[in-house]
Amino acid sequence: MVIVFLIVFFITYFAAIFGICALAYIVQGLVVLKLSKKMGVPCSWQAFVPIFAEYRCGKLAEKASLLEKPDKKPFRFGAFLAAGNAASYGMSAVTMLGAFVMAVFLGIFVILMSFMEISGQTGEYADVMAVLSLGLLAVDLIYMAVSSVFSMISNVILYGTLALNYFVLYKIYKAFAKDNAVVLLLLSVFVPFASMVIGLVLAYGEKYQIEAREQEGDAVCFAESESGAQSE
């Protein structure tokens, strides 16, 4: 009875987590799609695809920068944000793969040791086991050294991308609610799911509209750069 309860509990728990994450992801895509329409930035299915969604968010920040300073070329938030997220995802995958490989090596070693202990052949293969032990130790030390350096680089990329992501949010908030942009950013940083709620309000709230501060030529240039990026 206890086992059945635990199984049901864990299935329900992970299903709830998956449902919340899926809902948050769909809402994020809808927010990016709606904000893109409000700001005149081309966007479609890309808002719902990982990496592309981050690229689109960066493009919103670029448009916000262009609205704020029409005579200055905006920083390429889209490219850097997409590259940073792609690198973070890739490094996380490599880290998990390395841990899995090490676990497999250790498991094989433990199985061999257990088999030889049970069969009473430990003495006969003492030299072989010594070599295997030293080999496993060397591999483990190399893995730990590489993993430490890799983890350091991964953390730099992760926190750098996170900082850039918050700066992108600030740019978007500033375009729609200039006087409250800092407060909205602080809420996004410290309150879970606040950025999603704020995004919904800005995207679907009729009173939140960007100011048409760009010149016609600047809007044309931005549209041309967008079409050029899509064609690439």
* Residue 216 scores a pLDDT above 80: no
Which one is predicted more confidently, 96 or 213?
A: 96
- Number of structural domains the chain divides into: 1
* Residue 88 scores a pLDDT above 60: yes
* Residue 55 scores a pLDDT above 90: yes
What pLDDT is stored for residue 116 in this prediction?
A: 66
pLDDT, one tens digit per residue, over 154-192 is 889 999 999 999 999 999 999 998 889 999 999 999 998
First-to-last CA distance in the chain?
A: 59
What pLDDT is stored for residue 220 in this prediction?
A: 37
Give residue 214's domain range.
2-231
For residues 116-145, give the mean pLDDT: 71
**pTM score, whole prediction:** 0.75
pLDDT, one tens digit per residue, over 92-125 is 888 888 888 878 877 777 777 777 666 665 566 6
What pLDDT is stored for residue 125 in this prediction?
A: 64
* Residue 51 scores a pLDDT above 60: yes
Lowest mean pLDDT among 11-15, 87-91, 107-111, 121-125: 121-125
Residue type, 116: M
Which one is predicted more confidently, 14 or 144?
A: 14
Lowest mean pLDDT among 14-23, 68-77, 79-88, 139-148: 139-148
Asked if residue 70 lies in contact with residue 215, where contact means CB atoms within 8 angstroms, the answer is yes
Mean pLDDT, all residues of the chain: 81
